[in-house]
Amino acid sequence: MAETIIKIDLNKSAYENDKIHNRWHPDIPLVATVKPGDDFIVECYDWTGGQIKNDDNADDVRDVDLSQVHFLSGPIGVEGAEPGDLLEVDILDIGTFEESQWGFNGFFSKQNGGGFLTEHFPDAQKSIWDFNGMFTKSRHIPNVEFAGLIHPGLIGCLPSKDLLDTWNKREAGLVATDPERVPELATLPNGDTAHMGQLKGDAARAAGAEGARTVPPREHGGNCDIKDLSRGSKVYFPVYVDGAGLSVGDLHFSQGDGEITFCGAIEMAGWIHLRVNLIKDGVKKYGIKNPVFKPSPIKPRYDDYVIFEGISVDEDGGQHYLDVHVAYRQACLNAIEYMTKFGYTKAQAYAILGCAPVEGHISGVVDIPNACATLWLPTGIFDFDINPSADGPKKMTSGGMDVPLSKDKE
């Protein structure tokens, strides 16, 4: 039986647990040390540290303090790990807590985080998803059920001081190009809500003031939100500090490619079973700049899809040059409009795309001026036929139900 080296208590604040941190900084002390070849279990809070509740009110999503996130378990040291090595991490298993068989999906208010389609969904909304073994469904979204592919949205190693400085410089430079933008262009260091694990006092305050926020993916991995990093996956992370400093969190029960609602997966607390090994000098040997991984051999198997195309022409008819972001947004909007013909509200359709195992593909980036992206919606997640037919779409949902919404405070 593998040892659980980091434990959490869902009834206590993540700030009370000194094996948890919510910033990236090389001075955060290692909370445990393992050897190459060891396997171990780590428990994780949901990414907000329990700010979101299992109810039918979206006020908590509207009012969530995003300066706190993400709460990560770690950092974990690996004996012998040195800068330039590759840390090989096997995800052996991952699961839910018996006492917490639910997760949440949210659209953040445009004034507080926003999201991929925030211009279309500017208000906070929330759906709750109940787990039944490997399957999930929501009381807020009828006629849909699917198998989850549980994975960590966020996993990576501590940065070196030079790498941390690089992150902060380039992200501050981006924010400076449009400092009043809502949502902001990047989340810069904020020491007020920093939790630096076992680092205390003045040292913690100093590190918190420059610690990188956990919101984006970066060279070390971080918040990549890759749904295929699940049971059986193997990930190779560049090492930047002695001991590597592996941290993990932001567990998802299921997610569509792109995590398009920002709080876009089914977010959950849970546990993950890992094994680590080292490839000495692996960064140079393999020319690694960002992590590489092998996907899980286990995934929900859906064989039939309705596939929606999008091109790099925006909602207002504006032409963009080979812009995959615009193209994928159009594919998502096309899928949402399609699902409304079967009785779903636009918010319900948006939540489905964020939570269900939809696939996103970059389908063309050479045919000027339009990039083409596609969104693959599995038909098997619905309890009715959602394929096009000569008879036309039929309203299948019962009506009178929607994803709870909370308007911004005046």
User: Which residues lie closer than 8 Å to 167 by C-beta, 6 or more apart?
Assistant: 24, 159, 212, 218
State the Cα–Cα distance between residues 376 and 257, nearest whole angstrom: 9
- Residue 299 has a pLDDT of 85
- Residue 396 has a pLDDT of 87
- Residue 410 has a pLDDT of 77
- Residue 180 has a pLDDT of 95
Q: In this structure, what is the dihedral angle of CA atoms 115, 264, 329, 257, given to the nearest 10 degrees?
A: 150
Lowest mean pLDDT among 170-184, 209-223, 299-313, 396-410: 396-410
- 159 touches 147 (CB < 8 A): no
User: Which residues lie closer than 8 Å to 120 by C-beta, 6 or more apart?
Assistant: 333, 346, 350
- Residue 401 has a pLDDT of 85
Each residue's pLDDT tens digit, 19-39: 999 999 999 999 999 999 999
Residue 398: is its pLDDT beyond 80? no
Give me the domains of the chain, ranges plus CATH numbers: 4-294 (2.60.120.580), 305-404 (3.10.28)
Residues in the chain: 410
pTM of the model: 0.96
Each residue's pLDDT tens digit, 360-383: 999 999 999 999 999 999 999 999
- 162 touches 261 (CB < 8 A): no
Each residue's pLDDT tens digit, 259-284: 999 888 999 999 999 999 999 999 99
- 383 touches 144 (CB < 8 A): yes
